[in-house]
Amino acid sequence: MVFIVTRDKMLQSVLAAMLVWPSFSVAQDSANTPLPLPLEEVRMFTEALERIRVSYVEEVDDKTLLENAIKGMLSGLDPHSAYVVESEYDALQETTSGEFGGLGIEVGREDGYIKVISPIDDTPADKAGIQPGDLIIQINDTPTRQIMPEEAANLMRGEPGTSINVTIAREGVEPFELTITREVIAINSVRSRMLEPGYGYFRISQFRANTDQDLENEYEKVSEENQDLKGLVLDLRNNPGGVLQASVGVVDAFISDGRIVSTKGRLEGNDMEFMATSRTIAKDIPLVVLINNGSASASEIVAGALQDHNRAIIMGTRSFGKGSVQSVVPLAEQRAIKLTTSLYFTPNGRSIQAQGIDPDIIVENAFITKRSNSVMQISESNLPNRLDNANTDKQADSGMADALISAEEVLVTDYPLNEALNVLKGINAFSSKNSSLDTDSFAQLKTD
């Protein structure tokens, strides 16, 4: 038995707990061989703790010091492990359940600032006129420079009915302030619409506990209203991830067999494998998945699995590269640690940690502008005494005014989404000219 003399009963208790509790008393190497407790480091820890308590400019209670020590242990491991307390714990529960009091903004980080990815439809942020690409430079009296998106999100959350001031920087205008009243934000993480007849669009903003069921509900609604679906776009751009099981359910909606994802960690219970089931809602319809640098974690699980199974064409730019899985381990009431416990691997065994998913077709973000036709452009139908088309009795309109569009009619749209739609149209055009293609030929077409 080794004894270390300290000058404080609280420090003696801390050290005694470290020596008695099994997880502190020994360390394990890669071969699970017990290693000696680093007593010199333990002595330095207790010495630092005592010096802070005695000498810091202001008195700090022991609870705060010990909680800060836990935070320090976790923050030094990796960017995703953290000590979660009280309001942060509540926010973590809200993130997975999908209902909270706030403004309704998806935020990320760009050049040290909080950037609006998208306001959620019909939320206070949307009604106040906040736009994608806006920078939030101040929340109430707190500048947002160098704070993390999670901290900004916590600042914007609050009791429904309370107000918050946000200062917005938008390209081309002076920074301005908005006063917005918080509301209960009940998020359906999946939104859908038709791009054109036959082509459906599904946007997943974040993977919550019920996202896979939401996707199934949206698909059923779209397919009932559009019997002949020729192609689908699954938009995962700027989706930060979320619940692992939800991402597995989304992949399972598009494939009927095979591995979806596997996880590997130090502990035996962290080695898991998720397999597809035969319950598939959209097995054969051509699918394009959009990703970008803001697509992380669960988004990359979906993109990687569908890519490895040759079930979808992945378009956009390389994803974020977060290939780790965090487990929330409760410690006490409203206190937990979010700890990285395993890495995940795509069906073909790829780890995307710090690498990301490379798209099959690279499409950078851009704007499309529809140019007006030149007044000098003419065709055969505009020529005098032309011969009429033999296939119809209807004559082409010779009015040149129809060739012109006003400045207000200039088309500015989502370039990657437009390209995804064009790819789906190309697949269908190719398939219609090769009628012998069976329902499994999409995968072969993608491979070729």
Given this model, what pLDDT does residue 93 score?
A: 62
**pLDDT (tens digit, 9 = 90+) per residue, 177-230?**
999 999 987 767 899 999 999 999 999 988 988 999 999 999 999 999 998 999
Residues 104, 185: Cα–Cα separation, whole Å? 6
| 114 or 108, which is more confident | 114
Question: Where are the chain's structural domains?
Answer: 9-60, 99-186, 190-362, 367-382+399-447
Q: Taking a C-beta distance cutoff of 8 angstroms, is the pair 80, 340 a contact?
A: yes
Residue of 308, 324, 342, 414 with catalytic role? 308
**pLDDT (tens digit, 9 = 90+) per residue, 66-111?**
999 998 999 889 878 888 886 666 666 656 655 667 898 877 777 7
Residue of 115, 230, 322, 338 with catalytic role? 322
Among the listed ranges 276-280, 319-323, 362-366, 440-444, which one has the minimum average pLDDT value?
440-444
Residue of 118, 192, 205, 297 with catalytic role? 297
Residues 404, 410: Cα–Cα separation, whole Å? 11
> Over 50: is that where the pLDDT of 2 sits?
no
Residue 308 annotated to the active site: yes
pTM score over 0.85: no
The yes or no reply on domain 99-186 and CATH 2.30.42.10 is yes
Segment 40-56 mean pLDDT:
92
Pick among 1.25.10.10, 3.30.460.10, 3.90.226.10, 1.10.10.60: CATH of 190-362: 3.90.226.10
Given this model, what pLDDT does residue 83 score?
A: 87
| Secondary structure (DSSP) of 124-150 | HHHHTT--TT-EEEEETTEE-TT--HH
Given the structure tokens 């020994």, which residue do they identify? 26
Distances (CA, A) of 165 to 94, 101, 132, 179, 393: 22, 15, 18, 5, 64
User: Strands 82-85 and 99-102, how do they pair?
Assistant: unpaired
Residue 141 annotated to the active site: no
Domains 99-186 and 190-362 share a fold: no
Q: Taking a C-beta distance cutoff of 8 angstroms, is the pair 424, 446 a contact?
A: no
**pLDDT (tens digit, 9 = 90+) per residue, 318-359?**
998 999 998 888 888 888 898 999 999 999 999 999 999 999
Residue 448 annotated to the active site: no
Which residues, other chains included, contact 124 with Cβ-Cβ below 8 Å and sequence gap of 6+? 103, 104, 180, 181, 182, 183
